[in-house]
Amino acid sequence: MKLLIDTNVLIWWMADDPRLGRNARALLSDPGVVVLASLVSIWEITMKWRIGKFPVPGSAHLEFLDDEGVATLALTHDHFKALEDLPMHHNDPFDHLIVAQAVAEQASIITSDRDMARYGVRCFPAER
């Protein structure tokens, strides 16, 4: 199974935040699961850092991802094609790109955002 981590999950995982539940941690450490992180998440974190809403830039997370063996996803033509077909369930452009990547990569998403499941992508809850 391919599992794409949402931005909030990346932040919680890197910070060892207790909001990241036991089941989510088990999925992230399962050797049978290919864990993916979108560079869109790195961009989102960097944008929040630039306006003072986050303590470190997104690039600080890249070494963590490498250390954890997480593959990073850049944006591809297939991702943009999937994005064009998505309905507008909400207005978060970062989430739209992450969902489109999950669709194109045939991946599930681990997230605390319940709106992501509205796109028909299999979602796993991040919280306890």
For residue 113, what are the contacts with CB-CB under 8 A and spacing of at least 6?
6, 8, 95
Q: What is the pLDDT of residues 71-117, one digit of tens each?
A: 999 999 999 999 999 998 888 999 999 999 999 999 999 999 988 99
CATH code of the domain made up of 2-125 = 3.40.50.1010
Asked if residues 40 and 80 have their Cβ atoms less than 8 Å apart, the reply is no
Q: Scan for tokens 């991802």, then name that residue.
A: 65
Q: What is the pLDDT of residues 2-21, one digit of tens each?
A: 999 999 999 999 999 999 99
Instruction: Reply yes or no on whether the pLDDT at 23 is more than 90.
Output: yes
